[in-house]
């Protein structure tokens, strides 16, 4: 039996019965954090990952996509440069292959850091697919076909999510791309149709447009970015159109066909269009297939997610799940916080639930979105009496060159308490600004307290503390 762990926490484990104190399935941000923290307590921990450590964020999501955002923004910067007197400014020719090589090298470096940190913490990293045999046993299968069974007293499922292609549309399985494919395209298409209206769709629309691709976004709804504040949705759509991105709503492909002229897309209104490639950014789903959850009597919910309680526990008190596989708030920082709460709950006798209220979020569209707290629709739904303070203005940079782009900012303030319930920004560096605004909203600061904060001039962010007039 083990005694006192580092950190002073006591934990009893019968290692004659189990191979591991904790076995983590998936080495994404959440799984890695949980494994490291548990190992630092002196527990015997292993992680199974069939891909490289790093997960969606590092390998197929926010990190490589942010690098693509950076690359795509230079064309606009050159445009502005000419307005500031750089007469010979030129963007030149974008080398997609060179970018891919540099990007992939950086992702490899980051993945190696993840692996090194796990090993340093004492975690056993196993390159294998893990599936349940029963409540305490897992079947590990390597890519070479090798198979073995291990046992664990506690098991954490942290396999994340995965993009999917709709099955109802003929030709999609053969010709449709997902977000995973976008980082290693053999070459950049001249034209791209993006199906979807969520954050992945609008981010890739901005990226590919900035890299010189003719982009058309097809969305079956009336407005892009369902779930965001309506004013944000409208403002971003107008800004994207201003940049030359075509947004066509209430349209959905019903068939894809590869022709000599390109990909022929048949739409639900009876028309067709052509594009070199078609990206489906219409959603992701929890990656529960292949876990053999039936073996332990766990049935995914209607969205394919692993059901858990507020402590991330499944119906088995020793089996937990965190991150996108639970479909609660599918964000990397949330998965990391869930991992921390899991370790507190499972190994420190300190049941801890993550607070999902007022999570700041950034969308790296062009321009960026930053949002935290309630949308106006949510305030109405909750029956709150509120005031709105909002502004649209040309930032100094674009105003100098007579640009038409506008920044949008909106505060939603409860009338009775004066607490700022929601902040919504569309404009340059919105992702950076919303992090600090998120602190204020989380702390439930009042509009009066925001107003009492001295402005930083000249910045766009100063508008957040100088808004005086309520929207009529």
DSSP collapsed to 3 states, the chain = CCCECCCCCECCCCCCCCCEEEEEECCCHHHHHHHHHHHHCCCCEEEECCCCCCHHHHHHCHHHHHHHHHHHHHHHHHHHHHHCCCCCCCCCCCCHHHHHHHHHHHHHHHHHHHHHHHHHHCCEEECCEEEECCCCEEEEECCCCCEEEEEEEEEEECCCEEECCCCCCCCHHHHEECHHHHHHCCCCCCEEEEECCCHHHHHHHHHHHHCCCEEEEEECCCCCCCCCCHHHHHHHHHHHHHHCCEEEECCCEEEEEEECCEEEEEECCCCEEEECEEEECCCEEECCCCCCHHHHCCCCCCCCCCCCCCCCECCCCCEEECHHHHCCCCCHHHHHHHHHHHHHHHHCCCCCCCCCCCCCEEECCCCCEEEEECCHHHHHHCCCCEEEEEEEECCHHHHHCCCCCCEEEEEEEECCCCEEEEEEEECCCHHHHHHHHHHHHHCCCEHHHHHCCCCCCCCCHHHHHCCCCCCC
% of the chain at pLDDT higher than 70: 97
Domain shared by 52 and 129, yes or no:
yes
Does residue 77 belong to any structural domain of this protein? no
Condensed to tens digits (0 to 9), the pLDDT of residues 359-410 reads: 999 999 999 999 999 999 999 999 999 999 999 999 999 999 888 999 999 9
Domain shared by 39 and 142, yes or no:
yes
Say whether pLDDT at 124 is over 50.
yes
Condensed to tens digits (0 to 9), the pLDDT of residues 214-234 reads: 999 999 999 999 999 999 999
Residue 9 is predicted with a pLDDT of 45
Domain boundary among 282, 300, 331: 282
Domain shared by 264 and 332, yes or no:
no
Domain shared by 441 and 339, yes or no:
no
Q: Which pLDDT band, with edges at 50, 70 and 90, does 15 fall under?
A: low
Residue 282 is predicted with a pLDDT of 84
Domain shared by 405 and 448, yes or no:
yes
Average pLDDT, the chain: 95
Condensed to tens digits (0 to 9), the pLDDT of residues 367-378 reads: 999 999 999 999
Residue 7 is predicted with a pLDDT of 42
Does residue 119 belong to any structural domain of this protein? yes
Does residue 84 belong to any structural domain of this protein? no
Residue 472 is predicted with a pLDDT of 87
Does residue 54 belong to any structural domain of this protein? yes
Residue 125 is predicted with a pLDDT of 98
Domain shared by 156 and 300, yes or no:
yes
Domain shared by 156 and 295, yes or no:
yes
Does residue 321 belong to any structural domain of this protein? yes
Does residue 336 belong to any structural domain of this protein? yes
Condensed to tens digits (0 to 9), the pLDDT of residues 258-292 reads: 999 999 999 999 999 999 999 999 889 999 999 99
Residue 283 is predicted with a pLDDT of 83
Domain shared by 334 and 452, yes or no:
no
Active site residue 5: no
Domain boundary among 300, 318, 347: 347
Domain shared by 152 and 245, yes or no:
no
CATH number, domain containing residue 38: 3.50.50.60
Say whether pLDDT at 44 is over 60.
yes
Which of the residues 136, 316, 424, 457 is marked catalytic?
457
Segments forming the whole domain that contains residue 407? 361-465
Say whether pLDDT at 13 is over 80.
no
Domain shared by 192 and 250, yes or no:
yes
Domain shared by 41 and 143, yes or no:
yes
Domain shared by 343 and 306, yes or no:
yes
Residue 381 is predicted with a pLDDT of 98
Condensed to tens digits (0 to 9), the pLDDT of residues 62-85 reads: 999 999 999 999 999 998 998 999
Condensed to tens digits (0 to 9), the pLDDT of residues 442-471 reads: 999 999 999 999 999 999 999 999 999 999
Does residue 80 belong to any structural domain of this protein? no
Condensed to tens digits (0 to 9), the pLDDT of residues 129-158 reads: 999 999 999 999 999 999 999 999 999 999
Does residue 278 belong to any structural domain of this protein? yes
CATH number, domain containing residue 377: 3.30.390.30
Domain boundary among 295, 318, 347: 347
Tally of structural domains, the chain = 3
């Amino acid at each position: 039996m083990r005694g006192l762990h580092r950190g002073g926490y006591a934990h009893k484990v019968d290692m004659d019965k189990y191979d591991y104190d904790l076995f983590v399935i998936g080495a994404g941000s959440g799984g890695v954090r949980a494994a490291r923290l548990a190992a630092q307590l002196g527990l015997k921990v292993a992680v199974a990952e069939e891909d490289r450590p790093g997960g969606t964020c590092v390998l197929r999501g926010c990190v490589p996509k942010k690098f693509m955002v950076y690359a795509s923004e230079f064309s606009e910067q050159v445009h502005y440069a000419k307005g500031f007197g750089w007469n010979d400014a030129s963007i030149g020719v974008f080398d997609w292959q060179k970018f891919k090589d540099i990007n992939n090298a950086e992702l490899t470096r980051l993945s190696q850091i993840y692996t090194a940190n796990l090993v340093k913490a004492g975690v056993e990293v196993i390159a294998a697919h893990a599936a349940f045999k029963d409540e305490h046993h897992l079947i590990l299968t390597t890519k070479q076909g090798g198979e073995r069974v291990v046992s664990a007293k506690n098991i954490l499922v942290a396999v994340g999510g995965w993009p999917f292609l709709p099955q109802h549309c003929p030709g999609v399985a053969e010709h449709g791309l997902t977000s995973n494919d976008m980082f290693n395209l053999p070459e950049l298409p001249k034209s791209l149709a993006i199906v979807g209206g969520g954050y992945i769709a609008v981010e890739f629309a901005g990226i590919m447009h900035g890299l010189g691709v003719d982009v058309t976004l097809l969305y079956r709804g009336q407005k892009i970015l369902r779930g965001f504040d309506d004013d944000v949705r409208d403002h971003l759509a107008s800004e994207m159109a201003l940049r030359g991105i075509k947004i066509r709503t209430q349209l959905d492909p019903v068939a894809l066909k590869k022709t000599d002229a390109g990909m022929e897309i048949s739409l639900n209104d009876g028309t067709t269009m052509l594009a070199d490639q078609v990206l489906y950014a219409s959603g992701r789903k929890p990656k529960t297939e292949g876990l053999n959850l039936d073996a332990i009597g766990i049935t995914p919910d209607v969205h394919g997610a692993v059901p858990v309680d507020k402590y991330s526990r499944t119906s088995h008190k020793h089996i937990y799940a965190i991150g996108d596989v639970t479909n609660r708030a599918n964000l990397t920082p949330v998965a990391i916080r869930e991992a921390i709460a899991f370790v507190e709950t499972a190994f420190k006798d300190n049941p801890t639930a993550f607070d999902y209220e007022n999570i700041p979020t950034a969308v790296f569209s062009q321009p960026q979105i930053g949002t935290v707290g309630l949308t106006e629709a949510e305030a109405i739904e909750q029956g709150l009496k509120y005031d709105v303070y909002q502004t649209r203005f040309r930032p100094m940079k674009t105003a100098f060159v007579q640009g038409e782009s506008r920044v949008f900012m909106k505060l939603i303030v409860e009338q009775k308490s004066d607490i700022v319930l929601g902040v919504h920004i569309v404009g340059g560096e919105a992702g950076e600004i919303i992090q600090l605004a998120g602190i204020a909203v989380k702390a439930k600061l009042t509009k009066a307290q925001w107003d009492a904060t001295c402005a930083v001039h000249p910045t766009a962010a100063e508008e957040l503390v100088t808004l005086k007039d309520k929207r009529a």
